[in-house]
């Protein structure tokens, strides 16, 4: 085994980390040259993606289904352990793939929205945000999760606030996100603190073993407090209804490429953390059988797939509509893993991937509209199918995916989700999922009708098709979602193995 393969889990964090710092350095040394900053960021993001692909291959090949890496060769539970199994390999693929696509997309969009002398810093912060997200996903140490979560959060506050030149409300949205995000992270920190107090360890696997060995686990109030703090903190971070109110503003006013990046990665990593805390640390036995934690989550998820989707219908700004729809889609993922059966969890994990591809593609397409048109209101889409056919075709395919149209990726995830609901005996939830899809039909149709069936205004006669870098990224994500809607073997296979692993590892 060569040095790169051996150190893969560490490299996927180190490469974007130093890439981000170097990006600022290069910009300072050679002056703020946009294409240089962009080219360097693309290089780093694509290298990271290549490393992640190798790591995923290594996980699939490994006999135990997990790759373990000890930082500085200190063995866990004393040292910090990186542990990559099917679940985080899959999430890593999503995060680094979206990162590579959105940074490539950024060439024109960032030029347009960010002041010239800041672009190298902007890309640097972006790469740091990617570092944080990958780090949370790869680590097997709870305190590491907190620190990397804060790196992600701090950088995303800064990135969102950079939308201020287009709309000053970005500043308010960013501050709102900062306050709620910090409270969420503080709750997670407290939850970890209570677990540390009880178990004396920070390593996830070790924590689980120690917790299970507690004589009066079911009545232990410290564990209950830790569970409650973590549940609230994680719900804030993944924007689960009713704690989703920071999300629409943040995604609407952020620079376009950042909206796409955060919408398809940040909340997904939140969902991933919930998986880890519920199934790896507390374990299925505790969080499902002892404490009915999943019932709370199921209740929130049931509201989450209905209420934000209704709000989405009323929106007049496309990005805000998509953001509300994202808050609704989080409901599907949470519902899937709260069902605690294999079909539901498979649906949840697959949807994490599918939604990232579809929604990322849609945000990128609307970013291209904003680049050409200067605004992204629902009214502005009128007749754009004539002016920007390629962009709008991608946007429409993503919209069909959101509804869960057959042959799109959204159909696959909803299929498994409904199967999971029925297996668990919650048939009203299955009906609710179908009802929520109808809501999606309404808001997607509202957009499609304007794009394809209305005559374009004279005022948009100058509008041309989006530049090639934008089109390539948008179509890459949309085609991914279509491809895995038709050939779902890879995604569903990974998700099923991840679900089985989580349900079996935890007695």
Partner 1 sequence: MSFLGSFAGTYNYAIYIVLMMVGFYGVIAKKNLIKQALGLGLFATGIFLYYISIGVYKGGTAPVWTIIDEVGVLKNPGPYDNPLSHVLILTAIVVSVSTLAVALALIVNIQRAYGTIEEDEIRAIEAGEHPEEEEVA
Rg of the chain taking only CA atoms, in angstroms? 22
- Token reading at 285: 């036995």
292: Cβ contacts below 8 Å, ≥ 6 apart: none
* Minimum distance from residue 190 beta carbon to partner 1 (Å): 6
Site membership for partner 1, residue 263 (CB under 8 A): no
CA separation (Å) from 268 to 231, 411, 413, 500, 502?
A: 16, 19, 15, 20, 17
Q: By CB under 8 A, is residue 482 in contact with partner 1?
A: no
Told to check if 196 binds partner 1 by CB under 8 A, we report yes
Total residues contacting partner 1 by CB under 8 A comes to 36
| Nearest residue (CB) to partner 1, 56 versus 250 | 250
User: Quick check: 99 binds partner 1 (CB under 8 A)?
Assistant: no
Q: Confirm or reject binding of residue 116 to partner 1 (CB under 8 A).
A: no
Q: Which is nearer to partner 1, 319 or 359 (CB)?
A: 319
Burial class from Cβ neighbours inside 10 Å (0-12, 13-18, 19+) for residue 483 reads: middle
Q: Are 287 and 296 in contact (CB under 8 A)?
A: no
Residue 51 or 178 with smaller CB distance to partner 1: 178
- Determine contact, residues 368/474, Cβ cutoff 8 Å: yes
Residue 292 CA neighbour count, 13 Å, CB half = 4
Q: Using the rule CB under 8 A, give the single segment among 57-65, 98-106, 194-202, 389-397 that binds partner 1.
A: 194-202
Distances (CA, A) of 322 to 133, 356, 387, 403, 494: 22, 12, 22, 12, 27
Q: State which residue, 320 or 359, has the beta carbon closest to partner 1.
A: 320
CB of residue 275 to partner 1, shortest distance in Å: 24
Q: Mark residue 86 as left, alpha or beta (left: phi above 0; alpha: psi -120 to 50; beta: remaining).
A: alpha
Residue 225 engages partner 1 in binding (rule: CB under 8 A):
no
Judge residue 306's burial from the number of C-beta atoms within 10 Å of its C-beta, 0-12 exposed, 13-18 middle, 19 or more buried.
middle
**Interface stretch with partner 1, choices 189-197, 236-244, 361-369, 385-393 (CB under 8 A):** 189-197
Q: Which two tokens stand for residue 456?
A: 């374009």
Using CB under 8 A, which of 145, 178, 330, 409 touches partner 1? 178
Query: Pattern of binders to partner 1 over 131-170, x per CB under 8 A?
Result: ------------x--xx--x--xx--xx--x--x---xx-
Residue 10 binding partner 1, by CB under 8 A: no
Q: What is the DSSP letter of 280?
A: I
Q: Which of 50, 53, 68, 172 binds partner 1 (CB under 8 A)?
A: 172
- Phi/psi of residue 181, nearest 5 degrees: -65, -40
Query: Taking CB under 8 A as the rule, does residue 13 contact partner 1?
Result: no
Instruction: Rank residues 182 and 209 by Cβ distance to partner 1 and give the closer one.
Output: 182
User: Which residues of the chain form contacts with partner 1 (CB under 8 A)?
Assistant: 143, 146-147, 150, 153-154, 157-158, 161, 164, 168-169, 171-176, 178-179, 182-183, 186, 189-190, 193, 196-197, 200, 202, 249, 252-253, 316-317, 320
């Amino acid at each position: 085994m060569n040095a790169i393969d051996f150190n893969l889990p560490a490299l996927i964090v180190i490469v974007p980390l130093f890439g981000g710092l170097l990006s600022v350095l290069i910009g300072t040394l050679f002056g703020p040259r946009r294409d240089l900053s962009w080219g360097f960021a693309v290089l780093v993001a694509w290298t990271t993606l290549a490393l992640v692909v190798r790591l995923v291959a290594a996980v699939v090949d490994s006999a135990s289904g997990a790759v373990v890496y000890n930082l500085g060769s200190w063995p866990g539970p004393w040292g910090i352990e990186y542990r990559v199994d099917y679940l985080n390999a899959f999430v890593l693929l999503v995060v680094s793939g979206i990162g590579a696509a959105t940074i490539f997309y950024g060439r024109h969009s960032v030029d347009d929205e960010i002041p010239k002398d800041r672009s190298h810093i902007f890309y640097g912060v972006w790469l740091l945000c990617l570092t944080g997200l990958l780090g949370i996903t790869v680590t097997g140490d709870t305190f590491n999760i907190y620190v990397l979560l804060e790196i992600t959060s701090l950088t995303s506050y800064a990135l969102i606030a950079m939308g201020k030149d287009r709309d000053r409300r970005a500043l308010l949205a960013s501050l709102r996100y900062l306050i709620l995000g910090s409270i969420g992270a503080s709750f997670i920190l407290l939850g970890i603190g209570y677990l540390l107090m009880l178990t004396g360890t920070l390593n996830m696997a070790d924590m689980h073993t120690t917790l299970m060995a507690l004589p009066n686990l079911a009545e232990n109030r410290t564990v209950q407090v830790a569970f409650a703090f973590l549940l609230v903190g994680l719900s804030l971070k993944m924007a689960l209804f009713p704690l989703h109110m920071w999300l629409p503003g943040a995604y609407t006013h952020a620079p376009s490429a950042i909206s796409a990046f955060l919408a398809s990665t940040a909340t997904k990593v939140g969902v991933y953390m919930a998986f880890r805390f519920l199934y790896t640390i507390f374990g299925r036995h505790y969080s499902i059988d002892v404490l009915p934690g999943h019932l709370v989550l199921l209740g929130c998820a049931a509201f989450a797939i209905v209420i934000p989707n209704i709000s989405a219908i009323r929106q007049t700004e496309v990005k805000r509509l998509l953001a509300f729809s994202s808050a609704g889609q989080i409901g599907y993922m949470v519902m899937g893993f709260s069902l605690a059966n294999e079909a539901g969890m498979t649906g949840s994990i697959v949807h994490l991937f599918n939604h990232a591809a579809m929604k990322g593609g849609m945000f990128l397409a609307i970013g291209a509209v904003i680049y050409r048109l200067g605004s992204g209101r629902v009214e502005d889409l009128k007749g754009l199918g004539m002016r920007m056919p390629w962009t709008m075709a991608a946007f429409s395919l993503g919209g069909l995916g959101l509804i869960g149209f057959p042959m799109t990726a959204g159909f696959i995830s909803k299929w498994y989700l409904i199967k999971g609901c029925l297996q668990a005996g919650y048939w009203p939830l299955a009906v609710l999922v179908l009802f929520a899809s109808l809501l999606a039909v309404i808001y997607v149709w509202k957009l499609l009708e304007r794009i394809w069936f209305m005559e374009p205004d004279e005022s948009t006669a100058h509008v041309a098709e989006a530049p090639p870098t934008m089109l390539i990224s948008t179509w890459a994500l949309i085609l991914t979602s279509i491809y895995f809607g038709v050939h779902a073997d890879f995604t569903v296979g990974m998700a099923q193995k991840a679900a089985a692993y989580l349900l079996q590892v935890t007695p």
